Amino acid sequence: MTVHIGAQPGDIAETVLMPGDPYRARWAAETFLEAPRLVNEVRGMLGYTGQWRGNRVTIHGSGMGMPSLSIYANELIRDYGARTLIRIGSAGGMQEGVAIRDLVLAMTASSITNPSRGIFREVNFAPAADWSLLREAARIAEARGVPFHVGGIHSSDIFYEERDDLVAALTRHGTLAVEMEAAELYTVAARYGARALAILTISDHLVTGEALPSEERERSFGDMVEIALETAFS
């Protein structure tokens, strides 16, 4: 057990999918895993371990924002031996060619700041996805006929962004989408030599103003979860 995870030794699989919302972790576990078992509920952050096609998988919430994800990613890797971590979450589109429901496979994740920034001091560390996971996710999405994009995203430390200049600059430089966790996930994984990838569903759009209706989110997120599971075990 750790301060934030009440799982016992052996309860956490080496492969962990990390949605931000703990209730989405429960939905994904109950929908896609065989015999999912609740292994953590400390502070309401739910984690489940079960089987997918004979492989052990944990689906564990990360909370919202990089400080929250940093706690869970550190403990999952350092204390429970997680080796492959895939963020599954929503993002806001930032390019006209990135449509609602499309997937974004985050090759890199920029940020103004993240919890690990103090380690690097004057260095602008470039958080990047694991290449083997990125390559497999792209192959699987293409084979399934799911629209996807590969490129850089922005991990913001605030939800209600009021800097129009920052959004404009990121968009002008080809940033595909904005979310709140991936940059720290990639940094923590790099620190421990683990593999990490963020697979994101575009649920709203900063350019067009569109938003995915709530009743359609589960169907779109289902594609993302299935691709993440196939990617992890390819």
Q: 86, 228 in Cβ contact below 8 A?
A: yes
Binding residues for phosphate: 20, 24, 43, 87-90
Q: 194, 74 in Cβ contact below 8 A?
A: no
Q: Which of 75, 106, 82 is nearest to 195 (CA)?
A: 82
Q: 79, 157, 204, 223: which one is catalytic?
A: 204
Bridge partner residues of 87 (DSSP): 18, 198
Binding residues for a purine D-ribonucleoside: 4, 179-181, 203-204
Q: 138, 150 in Cβ contact below 8 A?
A: yes
Q: What are phi and psi of 18, to 5 degrees?
A: -125, 90
Q: 93, 203 in Cβ contact below 8 A?
A: no
Q: What are phi and psi of 185, to 5 degrees?
A: -60, -45
Q: Classify the C-alpha dihedral 206-229-219-139 as positive or negative.
A: positive
Q: 198, 89 in Cβ contact below 8 A?
A: yes
Q: What are phi and psi of 150, to 5 degrees?
A: -115, 130
Bridge partner residues of 33 (DSSP): none
Q: Tell me if residue 204 is catalytic.
A: yes
Find the helix or strand (DSSP H, E) in which 215 lies.
Answer: helix 214-232
Per this entry, what is the length of the chain? 234
Active site residues: 204
